[in-house]
Structure formats: C-alpha cells, structure tokens
A = this chain, B = another copy of it.
Amino acid sequence: MDDCHRYRVEPGSRPRLADLDPAEHEGATGKREAKARIEATGRRLRELQYLLYAENRRSLLVCLQALDAGGKDGTIRHVLGYMNPQGCRVHAFRVPNEEEAARDFLWRVHRRTPRRGEVAIFNRSHYEDVLVARVHGLVPKAVWSRRYAAINEFERLLHENGTHILKFFLHISKEEQLRRFRKRLEDPGRQWKISEADYEERRYWDDYQLAYEDALHHCSTAHAPWYVIPADHKWYRNLAVSQILLQTLEGLQLQLPPPRVDLEAIRRRYHRELADKDGRED
C-alpha cells in the first residue's frame, strides 16, 4: 500500500480489467488499522489543503468513475469528507440538461474546474462521454472515438495552468455489485433510491469494461494519470485513494507564501498604540 502508485495506469499501456483483482487488499493488515490510517491521513490532507489554498498557485482535480454501486459516494464521504468544505467543491455530473446538451461535451465540465488554491471533485466526469455515450450508442463511433484526443488536450491545458489531476476508476466485480444491490434492497435508509435501471445496466457490464479499458488506455497520461483501484473492499479502496491523494499533495511541496506586509511595522504601528488606547492589553 505504501507503493500505491502501482495502481497507476502507465501511459500508453492497456490494462485488462479481467486481470486486475477487484478484491485485492495487498499489504494492508486489515480493516481496523486501515481506518486509523485513513483518519490520520485525512487530518494531514486537511493541512495540505490549507497550504494549497494559502499558496494560491495550483489546484487539484479528482475525477471519480465507477459502475453503479462502485463506491463513488462512499469515497467522497469517507476520504474527501476530510477536506475543509470551504475550498473543496463536489460536482456530480448526471444526464446533461438542455443547456449542457446544447454545447460540446467539455463545456459543462470546463466551467466546474477548480480555481487556484481549490480542490474540485468530479462525481462522474467528462469520461461519461466515452463510456455511457459509447455503450448506449448516444453518439456514433466517429464522434466518441475523437473524444479521447479532445480529453487529453483539455487535461493538458488544465495541467499547464497549475491543475493537478487524479482520476480514479473504482474497480468492483460483477458479483460485488449484486451484493451491494441486495444490501440496498434491505436497507430502509436507501430503498428510496433503488431504480430498475441499476439492474438493467448490468446487461452492459462487458461493454462497460471494454469502454473503460479504452478510456484508461487512451487517456492515462503523465500529467493526468488514471488509477485502477481495487474496490470490492470499501476500506481498502478508501485507504488506497487516501494514500494516493496524500502522496500527490506531499509531492507538490506546497509552501506558505511570505507575509505581504512588514510584520514588525504592523506590530509597532498598531499593537502598542491600540494597547495604550484600549487600556486592556497586556
């Protein structure tokens, strides 16, 4: 787990998802210890987020993709929930609305990119336009196949403007998905959100795997890598994502900016004067 970059898809390579075990939990000693480590990592992530904000030069964009019940919401809750909400925005991209559908596929995504100092989390992303759009034939192949290059150029533009991009595919098995669907069926707190479409989509499982493989192959770049996270075990998924976030942010060597004012002059000018005036300061 300390070498969590092993889950990174090397640029140009083509992962076979069937060969990657979604139930892997290598090197981690167990759920309880993982939780403690995620908690400690979360506190450090918050400190690093503060430095990112203070530095005000760079930003972080986290894209989460998965099949239904893959754990996008849970990852946000358990890992990204450590971030200070001031300075961290989550955007869930659903079916495009009329305003969005009337533009190119990157328009709605571009306007949600993080500003300097900010963290943005995409719950689903522009990758839906080479996944669901492809699997369901929403656009012809001539259209979706050109999108990989558009995505790479777009992500390069963001990167060159100081945005660090991490893309996570939360990889679960077909059996684990069904297990989670069944749990939802028996959980009164979540029955309200069950839809038949969840089940219908399982018919396209293999098509989705292929579409993901192509997206991972074409769009894992040095400046915007994809990670395939074994996600059958929720605690391991959270641990892996938190460690990758941690190592990425530590790697930025974020620095507090220097004071903008002469602190000594401020001390002389205001604190003594005000202390005298108020008569209450020590």
Contacts and interface: CB of A to CB of B under 8 A. Distances in A.
Nearest to A77: B84
Contacts of A267: 185
Contact of A175 (B83, B194, B278): B278
A162 B124 CA distance: 28
Contact of A278 (B174, B192, B193, B274): B174
Given A192-B259, A194-B259, A281-B175, A266 B185 contact: yes
A250 interface: no
A189 interface: yes
Given A271-B182, A274-B178, A281-B175, A260 B195 contact: yes
A143 to B, nearest CB: 30
A215 interface: no
Contacts of A90: 85-87
Determine chain A's interface SS by DSSP, over half rule.
helix
A267 B92 CA distance: 29
B85 A175 contact: no
Interface string A61-92: 00000000000010011001101111111101
A192 B90 CA distance: 27
A188 interface: yes
Nearest to A119: B85
Contacts of A142: none
Contact of A256 (B86, B185, B188, B257): B188
Contacts of A261: 194-196
A191 interface: yes
Interface string A34-60: 000000000000000010001000000
Interface of A: 50, 54, 73, 76-77, 80-81, 83-90, 92, 121, 123, 174-175, 178-179, 181-182, 185, 188-189, 191-196, 199, 202, 256-261, 263, 266-267, 269-271, 274-275, 278, 280-281
23 contacts: A50-B189, A76-B84, A80-B85, A81-B85, A85-B90, A86-B90, A87-B90, A174-B278, A178-B271, A178-B274, A178-B281, A182-B271, A185-B267, A188-B256, A189-B256, A191-B263, A192-B256, A192-B257, A192-B259, A193-B260, A195-B260, A196-B266, A199-B269
Given A175-B278, A179-B281, 16 more contacts: A50-B189, A54-B193, A76-B85, A77-B86, A83-B85, A85-B90, A86-B92, A175-B281, A181-B271, A182-B271, A185-B263, A192-B260, A194-B259, A194-B261, A195-B260, A202-B274
